[in-house]
Chain A
């Protein structure tokens, strides 16, 4: 857990610039910080560092353009579950309604600025109780926090600097490369500046001049004919879309791996059991091993606390997947057929963080009670009680307070 905190703390010095920009009021920020300070005690994952969060967003953006884009990114978007930010990935919106049930993976560098959508929303969700109370408490902060984590993984490609969201990424404590890239982009953008200020209905010029922080696509770029675009769209459908379709269809899901700079897609229909999937992924990412649990795919494995630790220490990575409800589960718990029907996305997670997953399951008992009725492969309650004693906040805080109210909205969603 410590690296991101460290990284974040380095930035502690610079703070609040963007928040000011987005919230427009210093006092708001202060209150935010104060509240986060309160949060600190409760937020196990240490995401409460208001300053750290701010700082990663706050590096002065070289251009007005970026600043305005950043403002957009930091606009208060998270609302009630189901409300949707138009600029966000639809996945994110799906997830936003499940925030309470997301395991927190704050340490997870994911492949790029948008990262596993869950990561972003989880972070936000943690604070959501507060965010509604605070003006201008921007989503961006949460995002940037997760981005900070992203920075910690070695990333070879500079083009990430040009991805939406990764604008935020570049602002953190990353290897100088990212910083240089940002600066370079600033320089590079100037020649094209002429296009930037123009109101362009195509939204093309403005978006492309090195500040593609918005997800708005450039019209007609990359230059691919519609027939090809449409054909590929139907080829790589999500599980949801393919469900109603009879006959052979591909079941493409995205696979991300922590620390890897890219995502892949696999067609789940190409495999008939977990072992096949595992070896295919192994080949693809060539440095990952699936934990021994659940490779038989039958029934539920009871994960005792010690067994879990053994497994996770034994292999460097574990394979998790996101199911239809937006929950992140360990792969292998359900029969294969059920798995491919519900799997929407795969993620190869560092086992050290999987421990965090287990802890997080236990962290908030309320989350658990919302989820346990489903009882699918999640860490069992008895172990969780143990964790609860160790880490949970005192019961008094559970009974009242804004944070609980904020959270309870999501409990009901379970």
Chain B
């Protein structure tokens, strides 16, 4: 979105300045060593304050990492000025090491479990508990303001500890986490007097009721971001209404489905300044008067650019959204069961849309409407409404995908769940949209070929990697031979994340990827015929990657032991299934680089080799 675009431009501007500085610095060094250096050195020196100032403007953690590698001075200047630290794998480093290096952190982003834990492939007690981090932070960063966790375990006790240890605490974001209940949220609401952001998304919460929301004190007015769509039990609406009423700076509000349309109308009447809205249930029986009120309140919300929620949506009421839809840039309908004509009617009013998430109940016809009405679309995600119901065969197909690509040339992010696809369809899509950075195609039946030609889907993904040179993230599916991976290794030179399931013919496939993708950081593989040879071919590579996941492949314990022995700076963890034969196979392997050594909190089912 706009602000991030500006940020990127700013960052690249700063990068340019840095490059100049770097060159000057190295010139300075040379000048210093040469006999005539003194004069020139004094003339072209610049104070550290300037350098610090420049570095402090850097936000991208990658740029900061680059900066810190230039020389010792720069390393030190960078570490003293860093206020936000991003840790992609909580086990790659220890909290003590982080605290030692960066003394002035105010914002932390931590990611824990491997991504496949979202799909129940990782045992419950695997780890990634944030508490040890909080303890160190309480000691070293008492002025911590922001904590963003993804796939971490956080208990209620930890939330209470957090709430009481950091008086300046402002923003808590929990995405795909577990281990806590609404009691923990109550602690945050009660004690964090300066809270500006509470963002609870897609977590595994022990929902004990909605009383937590009532814990915000009456004197509390600082909230700007409140997202509790994930916490489904009923909340006290009066408490919510009062909270919204007194938090005048609120800009993001995403309620849960217990909030009715009528209640939503009352909330919005008091918060016309909102920029992002997540509605509750959209299906209450409204009187004409109530409907008018709803329409007029949406009419007053001139700033809403992001809309989500719409649980149990009644197509009949969607027109109430038209005043808002004209300036929407992100529309999340992924929990709204809409048919194709309902979506089509709505999209006519959404010409500015850049991001759209829908359910596949809209079918190809709905996607045609996307292509016709949303020329600025950059991101499309189509989720399956009935992924496990095998009777429902329909949904979206290659036709819908192609239709979108014709209408939306700027499309660069796609997540597409379908039950049938063709090589030709994908080839057409990437021909129309060559700028894909994220291409995630999930053909839901494992190992399914092109349904028209019965060929493998190799050429589809071949077309993707050959055409989309900026591709950073790729998820493959369908019936794939090693050829797909040859293509990936040969062409996907910017690829950073690759997800593979039920694909490939032999070790060669994985070897191609490991040998050919220089920027690969995350590789996750399940149910593929890749074995030790493939695993070990990446020996040198894994240290330049964040992590490797392999489950239900042909890797054995011995292969893993060899890897662990050869690469001491990698943690090689094997998760054993209960009751599985001890036939030497390594069911689930998770390999990651770490400067913290082997972790000490692994459960008994996890073996670090």
Q: Is A381 in contact with chain B by the CB < 8 A criterion?
A: no
Query: Closest residue to B451 on the A side, CB-wise?
Result: A158
Q: Are B451 and A228 in contact (CB under 8 A)?
A: no
Q: Are B481 and A191 in contact (CB under 8 A)?
A: yes
Q: Are A205 and B527 in contact (CB under 8 A)?
A: yes
Chain B residues with CB under 8 A of A27:
none
Q: Is A6 in contact with chain B by the CB < 8 A criterion?
A: no
Chain B residues with CB under 8 A of A304:
none
Q: Is B383 in contact with chain A by the CB < 8 A criterion?
A: yes
Q: Are A223 and B442 in contact (CB under 8 A)?
A: yes
A264-B383 CB under 8 A given contacts A191-B506, A205-B552, A218-B446: no
Closest chain B CB from A185 CB (angstroms): 8
Query: Closest residue to A225 on the B side, CB-wise?
Result: B118
In the bound complex, how far is the Cα of B203 from the Cα of A199, in angstroms? 32
A235-B447 CB under 8 A given contacts A160-B393, A226-B120, A248-B285: no
Q: Interface-forming stretch among A47-55, A121-129, A208-216, A366-374?
A: A208-216
In the bound complex, how far is the Cα of B502 from the Cα of A200, in angstroms? 14
- Chain A 209-244, CB-CB to B under 8 Å as 1, else 0, gives 110100101111111111111011001100000000
Q: Is B126 in contact with chain A by the CB < 8 A criterion?
A: no
Q: Is A133 in contact with chain B by the CB < 8 A criterion?
A: no
Q: Is A180 in contact with chain B by the CB < 8 A criterion?
A: yes
- Please tell me which one of the listed residues A157, A205, A265 contacts residue B451 in the complex, with CB atoms under 8 A apart: A157
- Which B280-339 residues sit within 8 Å CB-CB of chain A? 281, 283-285, 311-312, 314-315, 334-335, 337, 339
- Chain A 157-172, CB-CB to B under 8 Å as 1, else 0, gives 1111011100000000
Chain B residues with CB under 8 A of A204:
526-527, 552
Closest chain B CB from A402 CB (angstroms): 34
Chain B residues with CB under 8 A of A212:
445-446
Q: Is A68 in contact with chain B by the CB < 8 A criterion?
A: no
In the bound complex, how far is the Cα of B526 from the Cα of A310, in angstroms? 58
Q: Are B391 and A254 in contact (CB under 8 A)?
A: yes
Query: Closest residue to A192 on the B side, CB-wise?
Result: B529
Chain B residues with CB under 8 A of A218:
446, 527
Q: Are A112 and B393 in contact (CB under 8 A)?
A: yes
Q: Are A199 and B390 in contact (CB under 8 A)?
A: no
Chain B residues with CB under 8 A of A261:
393-394
Chain B residues with CB under 8 A of A164:
390
Q: Is A188 in contact with chain B by the CB < 8 A criterion?
A: yes
Closest chain A CB from B51 CB (angstroms): 44
Q: Are B120 and A220 in contact (CB under 8 A)?
A: yes
Q: Interface-forming stretch among B53-61, B65-73, B210-218, B572-580?
A: B572-580
Query: Closest residue to B502 on the A side, CB-wise?
Result: A208
In the bound complex, how far is the Cα of B481 from the Cα of A184, in angstroms? 14
Closest chain A CB from B123 CB (angstroms): 12
Chain A residues with CB under 8 A of B284:
248
Query: Closest residue to A194 on the B side, CB-wise?
Result: B529
In the bound complex, how far is the Cα of B554 from the Cα of A201, in angstroms? 15
Chain A residues with CB under 8 A of B605:
none
Q: Are A158 and B420 in contact (CB under 8 A)?
A: yes
- Interface size for B (C-beta < 8 A) is 69
A191-B505 CB under 8 A given contacts A157-B393, A263-B394: yes
- Which A99-125 residues sit within 8 Å CB-CB of chain B? 111-114
- Chain B 140-156, CB-CB to A under 8 Å as 1, else 0, gives 00000000000000000
Chain A residues with CB under 8 A of B454:
158, 180-181, 184
Query: Closest residue to A89 on the B side, CB-wise?
Result: B391
Q: Is B98 in contact with chain A by the CB < 8 A criterion?
A: no
Chain B residues with CB under 8 A of A157:
393, 419-420, 451
In the bound complex, how far is the Cα of B383 from the Cα of A236, in angstroms? 15
- Interface size for A (C-beta < 8 A) is 66
Q: Are B449 and A158 in contact (CB under 8 A)?
A: yes
Q: Are A188 and B446 in contact (CB under 8 A)?
A: no
- Chain B 434-469, CB-CB to A under 8 Å as 1, else 0, gives 000000001011111101101010000000000000
- Please tell me which one of the listed residues A188, A219, A252 contacts residue B120 in the complex, with CB atoms under 8 A apart: A219
- Chain B 355-388, CB-CB to A under 8 Å as 1, else 0, gives 0000001000000000000000000000111111
Chain A residues with CB under 8 A of B452:
158
Q: Are A191 and B449 in contact (CB under 8 A)?
A: no
Closest chain B CB from A208 CB (angstroms): 4
Chain A residues with CB under 8 A of B315:
270
Q: Are A202 and B119 in contact (CB under 8 A)?
A: no
In the bound complex, how far is the Cα of B417 from the Cα of A238, in angstroms? 24
Q: Is B137 in contact with chain A by the CB < 8 A criterion?
A: no
In the bound complex, how far is the Cα of B361 from the Cα of A40, in angstroms? 44
In the bound complex, how far is the Cα of B446 from the Cα of A248, in angstroms? 37
In the bound complex, how far is the Cα of B121 from the Cα of A48, in angstroms? 46
- Chain B 247-286, CB-CB to A under 8 Å as 1, else 0, gives 0000000000000000000000000000000000101110
The A-B contact count (CB < 8 A) is 183
In the bound complex, how far is the Cα of B387 from the Cα of A191, in angstroms? 26
Q: Is A67 in contact with chain B by the CB < 8 A criterion?
A: no
Q: Are B529 and A250 in contact (CB under 8 A)?
A: no
Q: Are A225 and B176 in contact (CB under 8 A)?
A: yes
In the bound complex, how far is the Cα of B479 from the Cα of A15, in angstroms? 32
Q: Are A201 and B578 in contact (CB under 8 A)?
A: yes
Closest chain B CB from A403 CB (angstroms): 32
Query: Closest residue to A256 on the B side, CB-wise?
Result: B391
- Chain B 405-441, CB-CB to A under 8 Å as 1, else 0, gives 0000000000001011000000000000000000000
Chain B residues with CB under 8 A of A198:
552, 585
Q: Are B447 and A208 in contact (CB under 8 A)?
A: yes
In the bound complex, how far is the Cα of B552 from the Cα of A200, in angstroms? 8
Q: Are A227 and B203 in contact (CB under 8 A)?
A: yes
The residue among A114, A192, A236 with the most chain B CB atoms within 10 A of its own CB is A192
Q: Are B341 and A188 in contact (CB under 8 A)?
A: no
Q: Is A305 in contact with chain B by the CB < 8 A criterion?
A: no
Closest chain A CB from B440 CB (angstroms): 9
Q: Are B449 and A215 in contact (CB under 8 A)?
A: no
A222-B314 CB under 8 A given contacts A191-B506, A192-B502: no
In the bound complex, how far is the Cα of B505 from the Cα of A166, in angstroms? 25
- Which A140-162 residues sit within 8 Å CB-CB of chain B? 156-160, 162
Q: Are B386 and A194 in contact (CB under 8 A)?
A: no
Chain B residues with CB under 8 A of A222:
384, 387, 417, 442, 444
Closest chain B CB from A266 CB (angstroms): 9
A199-B391 CB under 8 A given contacts A218-B446, A220-B119: no
- Chain A 256-299, CB-CB to B under 8 Å as 1, else 0, gives 10000111110101100000000000011000000000000000
A112-B390 CB under 8 A given contacts A195-B529, A200-B552, A220-B116: yes
Q: Are A191 and B529 in contact (CB under 8 A)?
A: yes
A162-B448 CB under 8 A given contacts A195-B552, A283-B341: yes
Chain B residues with CB under 8 A of A12:
none
In the bound complex, how far is the Cα of B505 from the Cα of A216, in angstroms? 24
Q: Is B233 in contact with chain A by the CB < 8 A criterion?
A: no
Could you list 26 A-B pairs, sorted by A, with CB under 8 Å? A112-B393, A113-B390, A114-B390, A158-B451, A159-B451, A163-B393, A164-B390, A188-B449, A192-B447, A195-B527, A198-B585, A202-B552, A204-B552, A219-B121, A221-B501, A222-B387, A223-B116, A228-B383, A232-B386, A235-B311, A235-B312, A248-B281, A261-B393, A262-B392, A263-B391, A263-B394
Known: A163-B390, A219-B121, A263-B394. 17 other contacts (CB 8 A): A112-B393, A158-B454, A188-B456, A189-B447, A195-B552, A204-B552, A220-B121, A223-B118, A224-B383, A227-B230, A235-B311, A235-B335, A248-B284, A248-B285, A252-B337, A254-B392, A270-B314
B residues near A (Cβ < 8 Å) are 116, 118-121, 176, 202-204, 230, 281, 283-285, 311-312, 314-315, 334-335, 337, 339, 341, 361, 383-388, 390-394, 417, 419-420, 442, 444-449, 451-452, 454, 456, 479, 481, 501-502, 504-506, 526-527, 529, 552-554, 577-581, 585, 587
Shortest beta-carbon contacts, A-B, top 4: A220-B119, A262-B394, A208-B446, A191-B505
A residues near B (Cβ < 8 Å) are 111-114, 156-160, 162-164, 180-181, 184, 188-189, 191-192, 194-195, 198-202, 204-205, 208-210, 212, 215, 217-229, 231-232, 235-236, 248-250, 252, 254, 256, 261-265, 267, 269-270, 283-284
